[in-house]
Amino acid sequence: MPSSRLLWKDPSKKTVEHGQVSETSLQLPFSRIEAKYNGMTYTCELVDESISPTFITYTPKVAMPPSQPALKDCPLDYIPPTDKYAHCTCMTTDRGVPAALLLWEDPEQTMVKFTNEEKSLGLPFTSVEEHFSGRAYRCVLRHITGDLMVSYTPLLVVKPESPVVEGLKGQYVINELVSLKCTVKGGVPGTQKIFFNCDNHSDRPDEIEGSQLTSSLLFNAMITDNHTQCDCYGTNDYFLSSMLSVILHVGWTDGKLIIYAF
């Protein structure tokens, strides 16, 4: 009595599943479908000794997840926003089937850049908004099998704020002894050094007051030169703040020496 059986063959004609003589149906498990043959034609063949082989074809389309994204060449230190070459690259070895969308998202999950063709995507620091500095950006592989992601926190340098000089009352200081204090706030990283220099008065050590840096100088009307210029500015080791200049003068009022400024 003639025997017959069913065979499933991959695109290379290799048999991947075969049925017993008594079976009238044969499944093709998707787990047996190799990635390289995904989207290609598989053949179900009926082999019968009494007739010529007959067959029917099927083209499986199996969703295959991408590989986990990874980061490359991502700066770990502060970067000036003017650096046109600083970037962080997100890459994957396999974008899966169908191809995953590779994209960068800012901390508010707004798309920054994307590609549906390449296996890597750079995040230039020129695309990082200043108010997002120090917050995590996400590189996402968006896929129907589920998203994969990796995060990166860019650190942009922010210029310190303009200096403020305290100790002046309006435009005048009416004292024989005057202490001027220059304060510089802000900046990322924070202000590291204040330069407060006056004619014949050298810079003194800075003091930390909370999140700001201050530098003080003391003036005596008896020994202060007339028309003394004081300049103050700060730095966070990347950028200088703007400079503030104050001119001190020595004068007389009510028979006393005073210092005044404008």
Rounded Cα distance, 62 and 69, in Å: 21
CB 184 within 8 A of CB 242: no
Query: What CATH code is assigned to 164-261?
Result: 2.60.40
CB 163 within 8 A of CB 81: no
- Beta-carbon contacts of residue 28 (< 8 Å; ≥ 6 apart): 8, 16, 17, 42, 44, 58, 60
- In this predicted model, what pLDDT tens digit does every residue of 73-89 receive, in sequence order? 999 889 887 788 899 99
The model's pTM is 0.64
Enumerate long-range contacts of 51-60, CB under 8 Å, 24 or more apart: 58/28, 60/28, 60/30, 60/33
Q: How confident is the model at residue 41 (pLDDT cuts 50, 70, 90)?
A: very high
70-152 and 164-261: same fold?
A: yes
Report, in angstroms and rounded to the nearest whole number, the Rg of the chain calculated over CA atoms. Answer: 37
Among the residue ranges 38-47, 108-117, 191-200, 211-220, the one predicted with the least confidence is: 211-220
Among the residue ranges 11-15, 64-68, 98-102, 142-146, the one predicted with the least confidence is: 11-15
Among the residue ranges 42-51, 137-146, 166-175, 226-235, the one predicted with the least confidence is: 166-175
Residues of the chain with pLDDT > 90, as a percent, come to 34
* pLDDT attached to residue 124: 93
* pLDDT attached to residue 5: 84
Indicate whether 22 pLDDT > 70. Answer: no
- In this predicted model, what pLDDT tens digit does every residue of 135-184 receive, in sequence order? 999 999 999 999 999 999 999 998 899 998 887 665 555 566 777 888 89
Q: Largest alpha-carbon pair distance within the chain?
A: 136
- Domain assignments of the chain as residue spans, ordered by start: 4-58, 70-152, 164-261
Among the residue ranges 5-14, 64-73, 134-143, the one predicted with the least confidence is: 5-14
- In this predicted model, what pLDDT tens digit does every residue of 172-219 receive, in sequence order? 555 667 778 888 988 888 888 888 888 766 666 777 766 678 888 777
Instruction: Tell me which fold the domain 70-152 belongs to.
Output: Immunoglobulin-like (2.60.40)
